[in-house]
Amino acid sequence: MPLDASFVGRSWPAETYEVSLEKIREFATAIGADDPVHHDRDAARDAGHRDVVAPTTFPVVFTWPATRRVVDDPALGLDFTRVVHRDQSVELTRPLYAGDVVTSVVAVDDIRDLAGNDVITFRVDVTDADGAEVLTTRATLVGRAEPEGSS
């Protein structure tokens, strides 16, 4: 069954997330980001930052759960058991720091069919406590078509 195209252009209520020092350190360690700016406040401040800096891919920690609310909506019609991740991007307006309180708004930018596969692109706009833009993420998922002859 094709995805519900009426989801394109819709957005979902904001979710708030407080970026913590320890979460940044844990994430940086997990991905092998060993630059001291991701682990040590003094090193980050010596490098001109106001606090420890989150690695560029850190926003997945809070943007994916926000996106998942839409992915899991039965009205969308996406069978997550058949999903593969096609693409991901992060556009930073400014670094994400320990202590930031950010708000994420999820939108569906595109839904299309590609050789019988459902392709959906999500955008998450992230702002800080003052409403200033921090970053935008985009993720494209592919819901693989059922193999021929299966039902």
pLDDT in tens, 3-21: 999 999 999 989 999 999 9
CA-CA-CA-CA torsion sign (90, 94, 96, 100): negative
With left for phi above 0 and alpha for psi between -120 and 50, is residue 36 left, alpha or beta?
alpha
108-121, pLDDT tens digit by residue?
A: 999 999 998 999 99
Query: What confidence score (pLDDT) does residue 11 get?
Result: 96
Question: How is residue 122 written in tokens?
Answer: 């999500």
User: Mean pLDDT across the stretch 90-105?
Assistant: 97
Question: How is residue 32 written in tokens?
Answer: 């092998």
Distances 86 to 69, 113, 131 between C-alpha atoms, Å = 19, 14, 30
